[in-house]
Amino acid sequence: MSEKNLLQNDSAAIQAEALAADIAGRLSDAIDARGSARIAFSGGSTPHLMLAELAQLPVDWNAVEITLVDERCVAEDDERSNAGMLRSALLAKPGVQATFVPLFKPDESDAERAARLDAFTLPFDVVHLGMGGDAHTASFFPDAPNIDEMLDLQQPHRVMITQSASSREQRLTWSLRALLQTRYFVLQLVGEEKRAVLEQVLVALGSATIDERQRRELPVLAFLEETELKKPDGVPGRVYCAVER
């Protein structure tokens, strides 16, 4: 992996500025080239600073369609909702008038949700990923009973239902195959613990062969394996790692 693919920062604040500028530039380039842009954001606490920075940058949000990488099956006003987080951190900010496509709607049937999300135009212009201390990304948890199906590059379903052993509720997630349909990706992580996990992932990524057991145990590896970090013709993108919060 070249230095251009791994950006390490001393603090989360410095990382947030750099990552927000990167995303804003990618969205603006997409709008200039094709008239619109599409991005999938990850939830959790890590993106907050970056989203605050992004809201202040000059992006034509009217031309941007936003969705989530994954979501808990809870109402938007639930404190654990990624949609609720994204709305308060970005979508509700002055001037951010983007189109939001939620993954979960409480009153929607599985068939209705599948039809609605199948209508979402791919590829993404940017996919923003996070990573947990167990090396999961999206809702690809190592202990999820359908982890192999979610990571299957021939998976016909764009969005899948899953639940890890430690989860309180079911989740919806774009499949690995769908997330790889992007023109650019960023992987954002903060903290010494996650940096140590990333090092483990990068060691595996640099090996001659990667087996199914490694993909299950380190699910973010399954994504990175299909990017330019592993393959010259893979999905372009960067890993942003900040040691201090």
Residue 244 has a pLDDT of 79
CA-based Rg of the chain, rounded to a whole angstrom? 17
**Domains, the chain, with CATH or none:** 3-244 (3.40.50.1360)
Q: How many CB atoms lie within 10 A of CB 40?
A: 25
Beta bridge partners of 64: 37
pLDDT of the chain along its 245 residues, tens only? 566 799 998 899 999 999 999 999 999 999 999 999 999 999 999 999 999 999 999 999 999 999 999 999 999 999 999 999 999 999 999 999 999 999 999 999 999 999 999 999 999 999 999 999 999 999 999 999 999 999 999 999 999 999 998 888 999 999 999 999 999 999 999 999 999 999 999 999 999 999 999 999 999 999 999 999 999 999 999 999 998 76
Q: Is the peptide bond before 236 cis (omega within 30 degrees of 0)?
A: no
pTM of this prediction exceeds 0.95: yes
Residue 49, burial from CB neighbour count under 10 angstroms (0-12, 13-18, 19+): buried
Residue 1 has a pLDDT of 56
Residue type, 174: W
Output the six-digit token pair for 120: 């979402």
DSSP calls for the chain: --GGGEEEEEEHHHHHHHHHHHHHHHHHHHHHHHS-EEEEE--SSTTHHHHHHHTTS---GGGEEEEESEEESS-TTSTT-HHHHHIIIIITSTT---EEE-S--TT--HHHHHHHHHTS-S-BSEEEE---TTS--TT--TT-TTHHHHH-TT---SEEEE--TT-SS-EEEE-HHHHTSBS-EEEEEESHHHHHHHHHHHHHHTSS---HHHHHHSHHHHHHTTBTTT-TTSB-EEEEEEEE-
Residue 3 has a pLDDT of 65
The CA distance from 245 to 13, in Å, is: 8
First vs last C-alpha separation in the chain: 25
The CA distance from 162 to 139, in Å, is: 7
